Amino acid sequence: MPETNKHILLAEDDLDFGNILKQYLELSNFTITWAKDGKEALSLFEKDTYSICVFDVMMPKMDGFTLAEKIIKLSPETPFIFLTARKMKEDKIKGLKLGADDYIVKPFEADELVLRLQNILKRSSKPTLSQEEPQMLNIGNYTFNTHRLELCINTDKQQLTEKEAALILFFFQHKNQLLKREEILNAVWKNDDFFSGRSMDVFISRLRKYFKEDSSISIESIRGVGLEFKIK
């Protein structure tokens, strides 16, 4: 049975299906906020905090893909999955490229959805940074405040999410070492499945942008092997 107090934002325009799904998830001890279209879902997301989002792809006013793009900008660490009646490969690829944690084609068993939600919530739980770590770390020309979750260079300051900070710290602790992808995933995501891997790729791209002001720092991918956080 899922943990209690997990709040789901459900965006589904089919009233009958949405009502049944809401009731079933509530019976499984989730708290559900149900939006009938993408625009309403975005408005609700801006006003509250959710553990995970479940979005239908085809919705009026704003489709699920557009909704996900906007929510990623507001809260990149909130996991989300897509529900769709379409089996098109292009749709699935688009959803995964956006960083979706799962993609479920209708019709599906409600029990399957509950299990997938549980698994996603388990692997997306926030990593805890050890308070034993030094508060200030020098990474090339950057200063990394592990307590305030800030990455600074000159006058520029980047506020980090906990997972971004955990990934930077893990890389720094293993700088100039070739790391297998599964090592990184198990250390930071606590899971090395396909969807965690897709999530990690999104975070790696983000970190490359954060460190672009110092050419002595790079995150190099070795195809089929892993990654190396290099500091010259």
CATH code where residue 153 lies: 1.10.10.10
Domain boundary residue among 93, 123, 153?
123
Output the average pLDDT for the chain.
Answer: 86
- What is the predicted pLDDT for the residue at 107? 82
Based on the fold, state whether residues 152 and 225 are members of the same structural domain.
yes
DSSP β-bridge partners for residue 11: 35, 55
Based on the fold, state whether residues 92 and 20 are members of the same structural domain.
yes
Which tokens belong to 225? 């092997």
Pick the residue with more confidence: 3 or 69?
69
Based on the fold, state whether residues 144 and 114 are members of the same structural domain.
no
- What is the predicted pLDDT for the residue at 119? 83
Based on the fold, state whether residues 97 and 140 are members of the same structural domain.
no
* pLDDT over 60 (residue 11): yes
* pLDDT over 80 (residue 87): no
Q: For residues 206-212, give the mean pLDDT.
A: 95
Based on the fold, state whether residues 29 and 100 are members of the same structural domain.
yes
Based on the fold, state whether residues 46 and 115 are members of the same structural domain.
yes
Based on the fold, state whether residues 59 and 103 are members of the same structural domain.
yes
* pLDDT over 70 (residue 128): no
- 70 is in which domain, residue-wise? 6-123
Q: Which of 87-91, 92-96, 175-179 has the highest mean pLDDT?
A: 175-179
Give just the sign of the alpha carbon dihedral 82, 85, 89, 91: negative
- What is the predicted pLDDT for the residue at 140? 94
Based on the fold, state whether residues 69 and 40 are members of the same structural domain.
yes
Domain boundary residue among 73, 91, 123?
123
- What is the predicted pLDDT for the residue at 15? 93
Number of domains in the chain: 2
Based on the fold, state whether residues 10 and 119 are members of the same structural domain.
yes
* pLDDT over 50 (residue 2): no
Based on the fold, state whether residues 98 and 157 are members of the same structural domain.
no
155 CB-side CA count, 13 A: 0
Record the pTM.
0.58
| pLDDT tier, 130 (very low <50, low <70, confident <90, very high otherwise) | low
Alpha helices (H) in the chain, listed in sequence order: 15-27, 38-47, 64-74, 89-97, 110-123, 162-173, 181-184, 194-210
Q: Give the model confidence (pLDDT) of 131-172 as tens digits.
A: 555 688 999 999 999 888 899 999 999 998 888 999 999 999
Q: Give the model confidence (pLDDT) of 12-59 as tens digits.
A: 999 999 999 999 999 988 999 999 999 999 999 988 888 899 999 989
Does residue 187 lie within any of the structural domains? yes
Based on the fold, state whether residues 219 and 175 are members of the same structural domain.
yes
- What is the predicted pLDDT for the residue at 195? 75
- What is the predicted pLDDT for the residue at 133? 57
Does residue 148 lie within any of the structural domains? yes
Does residue 131 lie within any of the structural domains? no
Based on the fold, state whether residues 154 and 66 are members of the same structural domain.
no
**CATH number for position 85:** 3.40.50.2300
Q: Running DSSP on this structure, what letter comes out for residue 56?
A: E
Encode burial over 114-138: b for 16+ CB neighbours within 10 A, e otherwise: bebbbebbebbeebeeeeeeeeebe
